[in-house]
């Protein structure tokens, strides 16, 4: 198959990845109601078509945290993405840098901060674990690597129950300890590219806590034991005291939490429900975003993720109040289906689709995308 859209890359990812990895990338929590809502509610936002306006010169660039980006789009953190292709996070970071957009490395990555930073600039996504010395060291490593922003994810006090991961054998071991190995053998292309040539197979950032590859035996079980459910806004202030660059708090859905984030000295927030992977049944990010934007009242930069599958969706999110949009599954599918070239292709698709959407809604700059392009 020649991929022409993000949905095509999803099909390629399904065909190439071992079953447990595809299910981890593709799935959500419980009955996946919120997962479905993220895409459906965003696609339901009707755009207002305008005509006879001069749209001969369209500028898709924008500024965020003191830097000019070619698109109002970044690659958000995606766990285990280093296993989707050989040294996958490095490949994705290179594609993002070439396209002039930011790449965010997950704490739960296969490639460590230093390895990815040698290949391309990056942001770092941080979880606070019970071992505060380890968390402090992660912040120090991000600083030493010159990370452009620190993205503190706060919506994982406890892990959501992800039935697909139990069924596939990634969490809980319901199908036996050899399940992952058998599934890998059924994908010889992946086994050769990643299994053989993608070594070392470690969780680079958390290897000191878990050892080489140990977390794959029961990923969410490990998360439940090591992530700290006692984290409060005081801990956000603690992180702020150690990090003097842009601090972004990821996982905000409630307007009151947006106000709290502004009070801690954060520079931005990500309106996010963790891709529908945590509390099933909560609002989609498209529905939550306008309320959060009103509460933030310009005091914070508003980033958003959830259900974005096209450049049209990017424009919709900007019109709903976002300053910047993060891709998640979209680039994960592309990495699994086509490596660095796939990620680069998806970013070109996003740009091309944005340009068409902007032209047909009568706007020529990112700053011009607001609620006026929505057909109420």
8-37 residue pLDDT tens: 999 999 999 999 999 999 999 999 999 999
3-class DSSP assignment, residue 344: helix
Is position 376 within any domain?
Answer: no
Report DSSP state, residue 271.
E
Average pLDDT over residues 358-364: 98
Rounded to whole angstroms, how far apart are CA atoms 351 and 330? 14
Q: Is the pLDDT of residue 90 over 90?
A: yes
pLDDT of residue 205: 79
How large a percentage of the chain has pLDDT more than 70? 94
Binding-site annotation: residue ranges: 24, 77-79, 106, 125, 127, 153, 162, 250, 272, 274, 277, 305-309, 328-329
174-226 residue pLDDT tens: 555 578 878 988 888 988 998 888 887 777 777 777 655 454 665 666 777 77
3-class DSSP assignment, residue 227: strand
Is position 69 within any domain?
Answer: yes
Rounded to whole angstroms, how far apart are CA atoms 212 and 199? 11
pLDDT of residue 53: 96
Q: How confident is the model at residue 159 (pLDDT cuts 50, 70, 90)?
A: confident
How large a percentage of the chain has pLDDT more than 90? 79
Q: Which pTM does this prediction carry?
A: 0.95
Of the candidates 307, 303, 24, 309, the residue with the CA atom closest to the CA atom of residue 159: 24
Is position 194 within any domain?
Answer: yes
Q: What residues have CB less than 8 Å from 196, skipping those under 6 apart?
A: none
CATH number of the CATH domain containing 133:
3.20.20.70
Asked if 35 and 94 touch (Cβ cutoff 8 Å), the reply is no
pLDDT of residue 226: 79
The total of structural domains in the chain comes to: 1
Binding-site annotation: residue ranges for FMN: 77-79, 106, 125, 153, 250, 272, 305-309, 328-329
Residue 61's domain spans which residues? 6-370
pLDDT of residue 73: 98
Q: Is the pLDDT of residue 346 over 80?
A: yes
Asked if 303 and 186 touch (Cβ cutoff 8 Å), the reply is no
E strand or H helix at 287: helix 285-296
Is position 343 within any domain?
Answer: yes
Rounded to whole angstroms, how far apart are CA atoms 114 and 108? 14
Is position 375 within any domain?
Answer: no
Is position 21 within any domain?
Answer: yes
Region of residue 200 (phi > 0: left; psi between -120 and 50: alpha; otherwise: beta): beta
Which residues are tagged catalytic?
A: 274
Is position 142 within any domain?
Answer: yes
Asked if 81 and 110 touch (Cβ cutoff 8 Å), the reply is yes
Q: Is the pLDDT of residue 173 over 60?
A: no
Q: Is the pLDDT of residue 49 over 70?
A: yes
E strand or H helix at 249: strand 247-252
Q: Are strands 104-105 and 123-126 parallel, antiparallel or unpaired?
A: parallel
Binding-site annotation: residue ranges for glyoxylate: 24, 127, 162, 274, 277
Asked if 36 and 339 touch (Cβ cutoff 8 Å), the reply is no
CA dihedral 174, 179, 180, 183 (to 10 degrees): -130
Q: Is the pLDDT of residue 342 over 70?
A: yes
pLDDT of residue 211: 58
CA quadruple 297, 300, 305, 311: dihedral sign: positive
Asked if 310 and 353 touch (Cβ cutoff 8 Å), the reply is yes
Average pLDDT, the chain: 93
Asked if 273 and 253 touch (Cβ cutoff 8 Å), the reply is yes
E strand or H helix at 248: strand 247-252
pLDDT of residue 172: 65
Is position 323 within any domain?
Answer: yes
């Amino acid at each position: 198959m020649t991929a022409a859209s993000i949905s095509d890359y999803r099909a390629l990812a399904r065909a190439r990845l071992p079953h447990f990895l595809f299910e981890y990338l593709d799935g959500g929590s419980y009955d996946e109601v919120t997962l479905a809502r993220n895409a459906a509610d965003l696609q339901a936002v009707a755009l207002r078509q305008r005509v006879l306006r001069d749209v001969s010169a369209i500028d898709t660039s924008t500024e965020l945290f003191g830097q000019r980006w070619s698109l109002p789009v970044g690659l958000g953190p995606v766990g285990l993405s280093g296993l989707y292709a050989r040294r996958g996070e490095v490949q994705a970071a290179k594609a993002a840098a070439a396209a002039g957009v930011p790449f965010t490395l997950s704490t739960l990555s296969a490639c460590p901060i230093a390895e990815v930073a040698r290949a391309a600039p990056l942001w770092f996504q941080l979880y606070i674990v019970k071992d505060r010395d380890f968390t402090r060291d992660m912040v120090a490593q991000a600083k030493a690597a010159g990370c452009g922003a620190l993205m503190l994810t706060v919506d994982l006090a406890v892990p959501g129950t992800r039935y697909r991961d139990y069924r596939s054998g990634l969490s809980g071991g319901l199908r036996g300890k050899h399940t992952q190995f058998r599934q890998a053998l059924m994908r010889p292309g992946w086994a050769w590219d990643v299994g053989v040539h993608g070594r070392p197979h470690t969780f680079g950032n958390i290897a000191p806590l878990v050892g080489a590859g140990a977390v794959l035996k029961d990923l969410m079980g490990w998360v439940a034991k090591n992530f700290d459910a006692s984290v409060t806004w005081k801990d956000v202030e603690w992180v702020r005291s150690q990090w003097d660059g842009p601090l972004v708090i990821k996982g905000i859905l409630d307007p009151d939490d947006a106000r709290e984030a502004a009070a801690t000295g954060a520079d931005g927030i990500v309106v996010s429900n963790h891709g529908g992977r945590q509390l099933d049944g909560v609002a989609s990010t498209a529905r939550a975003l306008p309320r959060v934007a009103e509460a933030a009242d310009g005091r914070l930069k508003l980033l958003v993720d959830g259900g974005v599958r096209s450049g049209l969706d990017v424009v919709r999110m900007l019109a709903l109040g976002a300053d910047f949009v993060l891709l998640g599954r979209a680039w994960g599918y592309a990495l699994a289906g086509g490596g660095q070239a796939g990620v680069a292709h998806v970013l070109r698709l996003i740009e091309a689709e944005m340009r068409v959407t902007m032209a047909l809604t009568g706007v020529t700059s990112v700053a011009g995308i607001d609620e006026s392009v929505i057909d109420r």
